[in-house]
């Protein structure tokens, strides 16, 4: 039985916490900036910590699942750890941005746009789903 809860939660958080889309902490000129479509290494670090905290809370403390089963008694850390790693690697502008602002593919531009956020979200969702659902990766603690 597949659990789509972690995938949905992780993808929604990826969209909401992508630095520069809704908010960037810290911003380029202020502590908090809204909708500036910019990013930086420090803001990705801050947003990753927030992402980790929210993902832990929603998946481990609240236990969001999209299937019916009472058999899960151990905490599965794989959705959290995989989600955080992908969140750090895939925000548009850090490693790459597809599409970029000036070229189809830009590397390390620290800038983003709506199309890039949509495509990077699809990449995030696809990779995350393959690792969690198709490959059944789990890290249980007791």
- Which of 25-29, 120-124, 137-141 has the least mean pLDDT? 137-141
- Rounded Cα gap, residues 22 and 20, in angstroms: 6
pLDDT band at 84 (very low <50, low <70, confident <90, very high): very high
Over the stretch 87-100, which tens digit does the pLDDT of each residue have?
999 999 999 999 99
pLDDT at 9: 92
pLDDT in tens, 42-52: 999 999 999 99
**Per-residue pLDDT, 65:** 67
Integer Cα distance of 77 and 137 in angstroms: 10
What local confidence, expressed as pLDDT, does residue 4 receive?
A: 82
Distance CA(59)–CA(36), nearest Å, equals 30
At 138 the pLDDT is: 76
Q: Counting runs of H as helices and runs of E as strands, what totals does the chain give?
A: 4, 6
- pLDDT surpassing 70 at residue 69: no
Model's pTM, two decimal places? 0.81
What is the percent of the chain with per-residue pLDDT over 70, rounded to a whole number? 89
Query: Residue 65 and residue 108: Cα distance in Å, rounded?
Result: 35
Are 113 and 92 spatial neighbours (Cβ–Cβ below 8 Å)?
yes
């Amino acid at each position: 039985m597949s659990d789509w809860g972690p995938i949905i939660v992780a993808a929604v958080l990826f969209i909401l916490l992508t630095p520069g889309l809704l908010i960037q902490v810290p911003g380029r000129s202020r502590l908090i900036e809204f909708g500036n479509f910019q990013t930086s290494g420090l803001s990705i670090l801050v947003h990753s910590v927030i992402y980790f905290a929210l993902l832990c809370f929603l998946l481990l403390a609240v236990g969001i699942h999209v299937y019916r089963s009472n058999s899960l008694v151990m905490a599965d850390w794989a959705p959290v750890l995989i989600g955080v790693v992908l969140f750090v690697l895939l925000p548009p502008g850090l490693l790459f941005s597809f599409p970029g602002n000036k070229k189809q593919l830009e590397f390390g531009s620290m800038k983003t746009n709506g199309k890039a956020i949509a495509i990077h979200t699809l990449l995030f969702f696809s990779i995350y789903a393959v690792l969690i659902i198709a490959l059944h990766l789990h890290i249980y603690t007791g």
